[in-house]
Amino acid sequence: MIIPISITSKAQEEIKNIITNKNIPRDYSLRIGVKGGGCGGMSYALGFDKIKEGDQQFTLDEIPVLIEKKHVMFLMGMQIDFYEGNDARGFTFINPDIPKRHDAE
């Protein structure tokens, strides 16, 4: 099976901390998905959930992951990272096929 996404080591560490500190039940997995479209395009979702019919299931560095089959094509090649800075902290989705914007100098 092709695993459609990757998770950086920093994001994996944060996910494992959440599982431990928030007492996520053992029968729950990390659910990765997409929401809507509209003017802003796709938005991405992370959460914990039980497996449902139509889910693709795999494990990344001991983290059980679920993706609804119809979302796989929107997540293909995405990388999940965790950003922690003075201004913000949280998970980010990075599409390596889209070049990063550079502000004009």
Per-residue pLDDT of 43-70, as tens digits, reads 899 999 999 999 999 999 999 999 999 9
List, for residues 26-39, the tens digit of each pLDDT value: 999 999 999 876 66
pLDDT for 76-90, tens place per residue? 999 999 999 899 899
Sign of the Cα torsion 79, 50, 36, 18 reads: negative
Q: Which CATH number fits domain 1-68: 3.40.50.300, 3.30.750.200, 1.10.287.70, 2.60.300.12?
A: 2.60.300.12
Please state the domain extents for the chain. 1-68
Indicate the pTM of the whole model.
0.85
Short-list 88, 80, 94, CA closest to 13: 80
